[in-house]
Amino acid sequence: MKKGIALLLAAVTAGTALLPASASSGSSAKSKDTGVTINVYNWGEYISNGTDGTLDVNAEFTKRTGIRVNYTTYDTNESLYSKLAGGGAEYDVIFPSDYMVSKLSEEGMLEKLDFQNIPNFQYIDRKFRNPKYDPQNAYSVPYTWGVVGIFYNKKYVKKEETESWDVLWNKKYAGKILMFDNPRDAFGIAQKRLGYSYNTTDVNEWEAAATLLKEQKPLVQAYVMDQIFDKMDSGEAWLAPYYAGDAATLVGENPNIGFTIPTKEGTNFFVDAACIPKGSKHKSAAEAYINFLCDPQISAANLSYIGYSTPESAAKKLLPKEVTDNPIYYPPQSILDKSEVFVNLPDKTNTLIDSLWAEVKMGGTGDTLTLVLVLCGFLALYLAIVVFKWRKRKKEME
């Protein structure tokens, strides 16, 4: 279904430069950046790439502006951060999530955007402007957004149950529950259940959330990320939280699988945004690229491939009704009002999260002692072998 729409949109966009904004931005970039190559670093599988008749966004951009794109991909915000901090690579456009945008901007790792070069920013909806993670809207332009919801197997779990995060603690489903394998998302679920903010710096609240996760641990089958799809599809697991943008494929393919966004406590609302890292050598070309992605035609074609939601009403209008009416993609405002976005936390809190997460996954602080004991055991064994060999050799010599 998705691919078909994309094909249609691709045909429309490729045919003519429909919107005046896109035409003007194209020509302005052409004057000085033609022939330049920009390094774009995005999430894996996060752009329409021209397979199966979809629009090849990067090729289309090169065609319009003469700017070439060296496109590479990463898997997590943290690996993006380490790559940037390592200094081994120079990127011109990156797509960090909300809390990573604030972390990068606080650490001075982002360039201020020149919105003169991004006229298509006008299409970004009001509610996505000046977000909590970038209050002045100086560093980022939203690319996609979505919410976290729950996959459930309709054969065993009732839809009403999944309207609260409580279901992930239900003993009835012990061994059939999956959890996110990353601390911020996993803690987030516990925090919402407790009614705390995701961005609290209160040590007690984080510890309470950790206690809740430890309580849940015996019920959890596994902490995983993309394996959630296989485990849900095969019926190996019955309940799993995941990002809404990726949910529709599985729900469409397997009639036993449903997806709900917990309305009782609210959920995490996330944005992936386009930014320019500090030291970019082709800033105006990078801005032309961001501008191009904001063109409603391109945004619609691109997002119908990706599956997440667009932050532009103009682009939303170009998408078919069955997508825009689907509450997985575009949940009602009442849910959005209850949901909250991640922002970057102080270093002290981040360290606390890391150690609490390690405790949750490994089961208690007592483990350090066990680790030391095991290491000592190995060392003793090693020494014993060395001594034994040495004595044997000595005997042979005699």
Partner 1 sequence: MKFVSKLYTTLIYLFLYAPIFVLILFSFNNSSTMSRSVFSGFSLRWYRQLFEDRLILVALRNTLLIAVLAAVVSTVLGTIGAIGINSLKGKWARRTAMNITNLPMVNPEIVTGVSMMLLFVIAMRMLNTDLGMGSLMIAHITFCLPYVIMSVRPKLLQMDAHLYEAAQDLGCTPVQAFFKVVLPQILPGIITGAIMAFTLSIDDFVISYFTSGTTQTLPIYIYSMTRKRISPEINALSTVLFAVILALLFIVNVRQSGSSAKTARLQDAAEEGEV
Residue of the chain from 27, 51, 350, 368 that contacts partner 1 (CB under 8 A): 51
Residue of the chain from 61, 81, 91, 187 that contacts partner 1 (CB under 8 A): 91
The residues in 231-250 that bind partner 1, with binding defined as CB under 8 A, are 233-234, 246, 249-250
Tokens 């094909």 belong to which residue? 7
| Overall size of the chain counted in residues | 398
52 binds partner 1 (CB under 8 A): yes
Question: By the 8 A CB rule, do 360 and 213 touch?
Answer: yes
**Least distance CB 206 / partner 1 (angstroms):** 25
CA 279 to chain centre: 24
Q: Tell whether 99 is in a known binding site.
A: yes
342 binds partner 1 (CB under 8 A): no
252 binds partner 1 (CB under 8 A): yes
Kindly tell me which of 169 and 259 has the beta carbon lying closer to partner 1. 259
**Least distance CB 220 / partner 1 (angstroms):** 20
With contacts defined by CB under 8 A, how many residues of the chain interact with partner 1? 38
**Cβ within 8 Å of residue 152, ≥6 positions away:** 159, 161, 162, 167, 238, 239, 257, 258, 259, 260
Structure tokens at 203: 């040590």
3-state secondary structure at position 3: helix
Q: What whole-number distance in Å separates Cα of residue 246 and Cα of residue 306?
A: 8
320 binds partner 1 (CB under 8 A): no
Q: What whole-number distance in Å separates Cα of residue 209 and Cα of residue 201?
A: 12
For partner 1, which stretch binds (CB under 8 A), given 38-46, 162-170, 261-269, 354-362? Answer: 38-46
333 binds partner 1 (CB under 8 A): no
Structure tokens at 127: 């509610």
Question: By the 8 A CB rule, do 240 and 228 touch?
Answer: yes
270 binds partner 1 (CB under 8 A): no
Structure tokens at 254: 């397997």
Binding residues for spermidine: 45, 99
Residues binding partner 1 (CB under 8 A): 3, 39, 41, 43-45, 49-52, 56, 58-59, 70-76, 86-91, 225-226, 229-230, 233-234, 246, 249-250, 252-254
